[in-house]
């Protein structure tokens, strides 16, 4: 087997002689997968990747579709929307429009990764490097995951949720449960306290505490809604003005779980389950670029390391590189295949460039990244992975070179103008604004409307008022009425949503819709 | 390394999504039913037993979430700039929408989808097709033709083949037997051993008269005897063995026979026959869903009736006049000869263009009312004609008034009406 020139930057534990390739065929066997995994694990250890133990599961294409349609949860409660997802996946797959995901990896301890049996051996190796060492180390290291998810408890919690939902279905009927789940799903993205650290979830604890909670909650809610009027109190204008909640609440599901007046205890528990799942997915939604970039960077680096050691041959590398370049392909904005920036490409480019800045800094790098240029690349990359999310990661590490390579440019679309304006491109004056704009694009509150619980008319008609704060005059989308109906189902009394710009209400939504005539 | 655990899950169930899929179908059953009945209109006869592709407007199955709408000021960063520099302006495309509102909105195929399309299986297709329909007068007749058996577990037996040996049960029995046989003796042994120990512990007496050596010896002998006894109890014995027992259970199979009666006289064109055929096919499929075993008897008639096979029934041509009663009479004879109503659920469907010799119609009516209808579960008559009714129809109307439970009739003008008429005939009656 021939070896191309050794990459100079591998750690210094290189054996002087070339190893023999682990295999030369593309047929995989369990024995070979094990050998590859061990070899990859050895390389990963050289680079200091710290991972949860891995559990690699070989599955068939149908099973992959199953996994795919339950948003990657290995166990989930039953809901029609997963069925819809499944039909959609199956259709795409059968028509050959869509390859199935090469891999699904679950943030759990042990970290579960699925390999599809149809994959060739190089693909399996790529997936192992990508998922079992790339994503896995990200799950274990990144601060958002450390804060928001408890990898050791998630599977148990999912099992608990599945049983609980099934039990409710038995007791209260599938339809009743489905209604609640539909409504909760509509608000799933609003089930997180963005600034508070949540209590870790644990299935055993949940089950044990659940009874206790049922009683306690009912008591608490009764307290809140005790509405025997006390005249002198109502006279007091200060008290009357007081809003509930005193501070706006961004966690709609939590607020509903704790305060909705009419929900039965089992319904509250279901709200809680969906909220906890929303919380579990919260870090993933904020680290897509980093997470995929990190995993892609490492499958690339680890497999090259194996090549350097002579553990894989040229044929293997060719197949691997072909898949790799498909993964990081970025169609330009005017391509029919364009659907936004490819997170794999962006993340991979930033991490790769970060390494270059450390190892071979140019003057530009020294100016832009004085702390990083010329530093130990492994330490720098690990630091970046541990302590950032997409928004801050881009703000901190997107280099002019990457902007140039991807030929990034920013376009402003203002409905008041009759043309688009290019506001920044990949040139000297443009780098900083471009970077800021791209970072903002990955800010969750820029991507999703900012909606908070504003007030509950505790002493009046018990109506719930939500407030939307538009950014740059962007209004709410067409689903809003529908979502408000779901909020109404959960809350049980009138629900209002107002868009407030500079203290002025610019748009209102109501459920039930008020009669057209002037209501006095 | 050893921290990686590799599991082969391929043999685990792959139908994890079955429940969710079923939930989805249930939720959108109205859409699917509409698609199914449209499909029946369009499909050719040979085609009914096949799945179907169903489309639902995407907006009907959307899961709503809060999201940004069009408008305001948005800035997006895109890749692949070629000629623009900062400050360039680009004409907005005509028509609202233009550029997609950014990431996350695009569909997996890269194009907007208005329709959510998916496949349902043949079985689901039939389920939806016959949903809400019920067999009229469904009666469970005597079990006949029990050609299949189920083996079901039926406890344990002391005789059987080694393959069915239940080890746990057998050992449990053996254990119980050992306790039962040995327990009393072991207790005795313990008592004797205690006495022995007491005697041995007694202070040494020099006087042989006071020495308990003979007693000790007797005790020791007794203990040895008992122990030998206990030892002789076998660890496992023939009578301990337990075998899993399975018994044959006849699988109940209700059978039905379906009579297809058709006029093949000169006035029936191939078009008429095609329509009739579709009707028969629907009936056949419908019965097939409800009965394990179905016999189909084809009777065709012009002036005389004949029992024929399917091919001849539908495709051979005849000319001549029409005497419907001949077919009814033949049907009655066949029932008497082969299909005792005590054991068979009998269904009959008659298709005709309404022609009959006028003298014959009252005879038909009499035959039906007195001979045939008492035997059958249900008799459906479809008249395939866009024209006015003739004598036969009016005679049959009288019958319908007398036997509303087991007789039904409808008129069909063209192929598109078959399914609605079929549904009407077999609609689920409010219980």
B264-274 residue pLDDT tens: 877 777 778 77
B356 and B390 together in one domain: yes
Residue B266 in any domain: the answer is yes
B235 and B279 together in one domain: no
The pLDDT score that the predictor gives to residue A205 is 66
Residue B99 in any domain: the answer is no
A83-119 confidence digits (pLDDT tens): 888 888 887 777 665 555 667 888 888 999 988 888 8
Answer with the residue of higher pLDDT: A99 or A487: A487
Answer with the residue of higher pLDDT: A100 or A250: A250
DSSP A48: T
Chain B residues with CB-CB distance to A348 below 8 A: none
Measured distance CA(A50)–CA(A456) in Å, rounded: 47
Under the banding of pLDDT at 50, 70 and 90, the label for residue B419 is confident
A509: nearest Cα among A520, A190, A487:
A487
**Tokens of residue B337, six digits:** 């000869």
Write out the H or E segment, with its range, that includes residue B27: helix B18-27
Answer with the residue of higher pLDDT: A8 or A363: A363
Residue A53 has pLDDT above 80, yes or no: yes
Chain B residues with CB-CB distance to A66 below 8 A: 14-17
The pLDDT score that the predictor gives to residue A208 is 67
Answer with the residue of higher pLDDT: A236 or B16: B16
B326-340 confidence digits (pLDDT tens): 888 999 999 999 888
ipTM reported for the complex, 2 dp: 0.83
Residue B88 in any domain: the answer is no
- Which B residues in the span 171-210 are in contact with A, Cβ-Cβ below 8 Å? none
Contact A287, A142 (CB under 8 A): yes
Residue B76 has pLDDT above 50, yes or no: yes
B220 and B358 together in one domain: no
- Interchain contact, B68 vs A409, CB within 8 Å: no
Under the banding of pLDDT at 50, 70 and 90, the label for residue A179 is very high
- Interchain contact, A407 vs B81, CB within 8 Å: yes
Residue B370 has pLDDT above 50, yes or no: yes
Contact A389, A284 (CB under 8 A): no
For an interface test with A, the pick among B1, B2, B4, B90 (most A C-beta atoms closer than 10 Å) comes out as: B4
Best-predicted range by mean pLDDT (A350-359, B59-68, B249-258, B356-365): A350-359
A&B contacts, CB < 8 Å? 290
- CB distance from B97 to chain A under 8 Å? no
For an interface test with A, the pick among B7, B26, B66 (most A C-beta atoms closer than 10 Å) comes out as: B66
Under the banding of pLDDT at 50, 70 and 90, the label for residue B258 is confident
Which of B245, B275, B297 represents a domain boundary (last residue)? Answer: B245
pLDDT above 90 coverage of chain B, percent = 4
**Closest partner residue to B20 among A59, A82, A97, by Cβ?**
A82
Under the banding of pLDDT at 50, 70 and 90, the label for residue A224 is low
Chain A residues with CB-CB distance to B84 below 8 A: 409, 422, 425
- Interchain contact, B81 vs A425, CB within 8 Å: yes
Query: In terms of DSSP bridges, do strands A54-59 and B378-384 run parallel, antiparallel, or are they unpaired?
Result: unpaired
Contact B230, B179 (CB under 8 A): no
B316 and B236 together in one domain: no
For residue B59, what is the nearest residue in chain A, using CA coordinates? Answer: A479
For residue A35, what is the nearest residue in chain B, using CA coordinates? Answer: B1
The SS3 call for residue B100 is coil
Best-predicted range by mean pLDDT (A189-203, A240-254, B274-288, B407-421): A240-254
Residue A172 has pLDDT above 60, yes or no: yes
Residue B112 has pLDDT above 80, yes or no: no
- CB distance from B11 to chain A under 8 Å? no
Residue ranges making up the domain that contains B48: 18-62+113-131
Residue A48 has pLDDT above 60, yes or no: yes
Residue B220 in any domain: the answer is yes
Least confident of A290-304, A409-423, B27-41, B64-78: B27-41
**Closest partner residue to A408 among B7, B9, B79, by Cβ?**
B79
B282 and B378 together in one domain: yes
Residue B180 in any domain: the answer is yes
Measured distance CA(A125)–CA(A34) in Å, rounded: 10
The pLDDT score that the predictor gives to residue B96 is 47
Distance from CA of B97 to the nearest CA of A (A): 11
Residue B396 in any domain: the answer is yes
Residue B137 has pLDDT above 60, yes or no: no
For residue A497, what is the nearest residue in chain B, using CA coordinates? Answer: B66
**Tokens of residue B157, six digits:** 């037996």
Contact A356, A386 (CB under 8 A): no
Mean pLDDT (whole number) for A206-219: 67
Under the banding of pLDDT at 50, 70 and 90, the label for residue A16 is very low
For residue A473, what is the nearest residue in chain B, using CA coordinates? Answer: B72
Distance from CA of B25 to the nearest CA of A (A): 8
Structure pTM?
A: 0.70
Under the banding of pLDDT at 50, 70 and 90, the label for residue A487 is very high
3-state helix, strand, coil in chain A (%, to 5): 55, 10, 35
What does pLDDT average to over chain A? 85
Mean pLDDT (whole number) for B96-121: 52
Residue A200 has pLDDT above 70, yes or no: no
- Interchain contact, B118 vs A90, CB within 8 Å: yes
Residue B287 has pLDDT above 90, yes or no: no
DSSP A197: P
B274 and B406 together in one domain: yes
**Closest partner residue to A415 among B62, B71, B119, by Cβ?**
B71
For an interface test with B, the pick among A422, A425, A451, A497 (most B C-beta atoms closer than 10 Å) comes out as: A422
Residue A29 has pLDDT above 70, yes or no: yes
DSSP A4: P
- Interchain contact, A422 vs B89, CB within 8 Å: yes
Under the banding of pLDDT at 50, 70 and 90, the label for residue A402 is very high
**Closest partner residue to B102 among A57, A340, A421, by Cβ?**
A340
- Which B residues in the span 122-141 are in contact with A, Cβ-Cβ below 8 Å? none
Name the domain count of chain B: 3
A26-43 burial, b for 16+ CB within 10 Å, e for fewer?
Answer: eebeeebbeebbebbbbb
B185 and B119 together in one domain: no
Least confident of A410-419, B102-111, B255-264: B102-111
Torsion angle of alpha carbons B114, B120, B126, B127, nearest 10°?
Answer: -90
Chain B residues with CB-CB distance to A51 below 8 A: 3
Mean pLDDT (whole number) for B63-85: 90
- Cα B92 to Cα A386, A418, A419, A475, B76: the distances in Å are 42, 6, 5, 20, 15
For residue A44, what is the nearest residue in chain B, using CA coordinates? Answer: B1
Q: How many CA atoms lie within 13 A of A515 on its CB side?
A: 4
Residue A188 has pLDDT above 50, yes or no: yes
Q: Which residues neighbour B30 within 8 Å (Cβ) at sequence distance 6 or greater?
A: none
- Interchain contact, B9 vs A425, CB within 8 Å: no
For residue A132, what is the nearest residue in chain B, using CA coordinates? Answer: B4
Which of B190, B215, B245 represents a domain boundary (last residue)? Answer: B245
End-to-end, the C-alpha distance of chain B in Å comes to 68
A181: nearest Cα among A241, A114, A73, A269:
A269
Under the banding of pLDDT at 50, 70 and 90, the label for residue B98 is very low
B275 and B402 together in one domain: yes
Residue B298 has pLDDT above 90, yes or no: no
Mean pLDDT (whole number) for B353-375: 84
Measured distance CA(B359)–CA(B390) in Å, rounded: 12
The pLDDT score that the predictor gives to residue A303 is 95
Distance from CA of A416 to the nearest CA of B (A): 8
- Interchain contact, B108 vs A97, CB within 8 Å: yes
For an interface test with A, the pick among B8, B81, B95 (most A C-beta atoms closer than 10 Å) comes out as: B81
**Tokens of residue A66, six digits:** 């199953």
Contact B287, B294 (CB under 8 A): yes
Q: Give the 3-state secondary structure of A366-418.
A: HHHCCCCCCCCHHHHHHHHHHHCCHHHHHHHHCCHHHHHHHCCEEEEEECCCC
The pLDDT score that the predictor gives to residue A195 is 64
A429-460 confidence digits (pLDDT tens): 999 999 999 999 998 878 899 999 999 998 88
- Cα B112 to Cα A194, B77, B127: the distances in Å are 33, 22, 32
pLDDT above 70 coverage of chain A, percent = 84
Chain B residues with CB-CB distance to A439 below 8 A: none
Answer with the residue of higher pLDDT: B219 or A328: A328
Mean pLDDT (whole number) for A277-305: 93
B338 and B259 together in one domain: yes
Residue B188 has pLDDT above 90, yes or no: no
For residue A112, what is the nearest residue in chain B, using CA coordinates? Answer: B5
- CB distance from B59 to chain A under 8 Å? no
Chain A residues with CB-CB distance to B100 below 8 A: 339
Mean pLDDT (whole number) for B353-369: 84
Contact A424, B76 (CB under 8 A): no
What does pLDDT average to over chain B? 78
Best-predicted range by mean pLDDT (A144-153, A258-267, B121-130): A258-267
Torsion angle of alpha carbons A426, A431, A437, A442, nearest 10°?
Answer: 90
B355 and B395 together in one domain: yes
Torsion angle of alpha carbons A50, A55, A59, A63, nearest 10°?
Answer: -90
Least confident of A286-300, A450-464, B203-217: B203-217
The pLDDT score that the predictor gives to residue A295 is 95
Under the banding of pLDDT at 50, 70 and 90, the label for residue B49 is low
Residue A34 has pLDDT above 90, yes or no: yes
The pLDDT score that the predictor gives to residue A97 is 54
Least confident of A294-308, A336-350, B36-50, B373-387: B36-50
- Please provide the DSSP assignment of B114-155 as one string: SEEEEEE-HHHHHHHHTTTB--TT-----------EEEEEEE
Residue B82 in any domain: the answer is no
For residue B77, what is the nearest residue in chain A, using CA coordinates? Answer: A410
Distance from CA of B254 to the nearest CA of A (A): 32
Q: Using CA of residue B114, residue B118, residue B120, residue B121, what is the dihedral sign?
A: positive
Residue B12 in any domain: the answer is no
B118 and B168 together in one domain: no
B341 and B319 together in one domain: yes
């Amino acid at each position: 087997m021939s070896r191309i020139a050794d990459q100079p930057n591998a750690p210094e534990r290189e054996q002087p002689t070339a190893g023999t390739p682990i295999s030369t065929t593309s047929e995989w066997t369990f024995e070979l997968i094990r050998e590859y995994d061990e070899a990859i694990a050895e390389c990963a250890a050289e680079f200091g990747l710290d991972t949860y133990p891995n559990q690699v599961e070989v599955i068939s294409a149908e099973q992959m579709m199953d996994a795919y349609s339950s948003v990657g949860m290995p166990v989930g409660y039953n809901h029609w929307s997963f069925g819809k997802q499944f039909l959609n996946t199956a259709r795409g797959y059968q028509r050959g429009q869509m390859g199935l995901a090469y891999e699904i990896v679950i943030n759990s301890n042990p970290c579960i990764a699925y390999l599809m049996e149809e994959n060739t051996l190089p693909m399996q190796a790529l997936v192992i490097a990508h998922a079992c060492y790339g994503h896995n180390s990200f799950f274990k290291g990144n601060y958002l995951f450390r804060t928001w998810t408890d990898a050791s408890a998630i599977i148990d919690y999912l099992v608990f949720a599945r049983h609980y939902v099934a039990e409710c279905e038995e007791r209260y009927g599938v339809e009743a449960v489905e209604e609640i789940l539909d409504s909760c799903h509509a608000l799933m993205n609003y089930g997180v306290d963005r600034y508070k650290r949540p209590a870790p979830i644990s299935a055993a604890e949940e089950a044990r505490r659940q009874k206790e909670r049922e009683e306690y909650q009912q008591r608490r809610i009764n307290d809140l809604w005790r509405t025997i009027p006390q005249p002198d109190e109502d006279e007091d204008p200060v008290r009357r003005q007081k809003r509930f909640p005193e501070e706006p609440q961004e966690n709609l599901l939590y607020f509903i779980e704790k305060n909705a007046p009419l929900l039965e205890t089992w319904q509250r528990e279901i709200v809680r389950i969906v909220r906890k799942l929303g919380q579990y997915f919260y870090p993933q939604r904020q680290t897509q670029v980093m997470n995929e970039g990190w995993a892609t960077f490492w499958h690339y680096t680890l497999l090259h390391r194996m090549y350097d050691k002579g553990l894989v041959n040229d044929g293997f590398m060719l197949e691997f590189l072909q898949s790799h370049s498909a993964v990081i392909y970025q169609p330009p904005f005017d391509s029919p295949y364009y659907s936004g920036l490819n997170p794999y490409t962006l993340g991979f480019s930033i991490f790769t460039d970060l390494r270059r800045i450390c190892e071979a800094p140019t003057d530009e790098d020294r100016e832009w990244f004085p702390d990083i240029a010329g530093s130990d690349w492994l330490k720098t990359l690990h630091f970046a992975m541990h302590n950032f999310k997409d928004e801050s990661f881009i703000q901190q590490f997107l280099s002019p070179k990457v902007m140039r390579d991807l030929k990034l440019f920013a376009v402003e679309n203002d409905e008041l103008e009759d043309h688009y304006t290019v506001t920044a491109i990949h040139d000297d004056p443009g780098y900083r604004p471009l970077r800021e704009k791209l970072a903002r694009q990955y800010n969750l509150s820029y991507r999703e409307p900012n909606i908070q619980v504003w007030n509950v008319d505790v002493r009046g008609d018990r109506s719930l008022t939500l407030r939307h704060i538009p950014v740059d005059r962007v209004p709410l989308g067409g689903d809003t009425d529908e979502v408000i109906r779901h909020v109404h189902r959960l809350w049980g009394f009138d629900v209002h949503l107002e868009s407030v710009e500079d203290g002025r209400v610019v748009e209102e939504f109501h459920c039930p819709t008020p009669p057209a005539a002037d209501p006095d | 390394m050893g921290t990686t655990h590799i599991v082969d899950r391929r043999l685990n169930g792959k139908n994890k999504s079955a429940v969710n899929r079923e939930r989805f179908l249930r939720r959108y059953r109205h859409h699917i039913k509409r698609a199914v009945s449209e499909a029946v209109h369009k499909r050719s006869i040979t085609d009914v037993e096949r799945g179907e592709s169903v489309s639902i407007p995407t907006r009907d199955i959307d899961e709503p979430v809060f999201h940004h709408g069009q408008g305001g000021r948005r800035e997006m960063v895109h890749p692949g700039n070629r000629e623009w520099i900062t400050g360039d302006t680009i004409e907005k495309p005509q028509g609202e929408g233009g550029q997609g509102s950014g990431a996350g909105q695009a569909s997996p195929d890269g194009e907007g989808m208005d329709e959510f399309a998916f496949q349902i299986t043949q079985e689901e297709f039939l389920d939806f097709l016959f949903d809400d329909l019920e067999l009229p007068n469904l009666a469970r007749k005597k079990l006949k033709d029990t050609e299949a058996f189920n083996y079901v577990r039926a406890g344990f037996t002391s005789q059987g083949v080694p393959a069915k040996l239940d080890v746990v049960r057998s050992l449990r029995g053996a254990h119980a037997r050992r306790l039962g046989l040995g327990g009393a003796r072991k207790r005795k042994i313990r008592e004797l051993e205690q006495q022995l120990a007491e005697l041995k512990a007694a202070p040494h007496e020099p006087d042989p008269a006071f020495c308990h050596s003979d007693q000790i010896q007797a005790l020791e002998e007794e203990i040895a005897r008992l122990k030998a006894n206990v030892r002789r109890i076998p660890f496992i014995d023939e009578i301990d063995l337990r075998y899993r027992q399975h018994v044959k259970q006849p699988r109940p199979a209700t059978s039905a026979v379906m009579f297809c009666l058709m006029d093949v006289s000169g006035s029936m064109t191939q078009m008429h026959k095609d329509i009739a055929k579709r009707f028969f096919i629907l009936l056949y499929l419908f019965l097939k869903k409800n009965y394990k075993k179905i016999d189909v008897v084809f009777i065709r008639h012009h002036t005389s009736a004949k029992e024929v096979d399917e091919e001849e029934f539908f495709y051979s041509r005849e000319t001549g006049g029409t005497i419907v009663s001949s077919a009814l009479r033949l049907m009655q004879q066949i029932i008497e000869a082969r299909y005792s109503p005590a054991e068979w659920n009998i269904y009959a469907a008659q298709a005709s263009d309404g022609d009959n010799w006028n003298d014959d119609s009252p005879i038909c009516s009499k035959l039906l009312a007195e001979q045939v209808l008492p035997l059958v579960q249900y008799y459906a008559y479809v008249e395939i004609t866009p024209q006015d009714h003739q004598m036969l129809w009016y005679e049959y109307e009288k019958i319908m008034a007398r036997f509303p439970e087991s007789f039904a009739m409808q008129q069909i003008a063209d192929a598109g009406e078959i399914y609605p008429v079929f549904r009407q005939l077999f609609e689920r009656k409010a219980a």
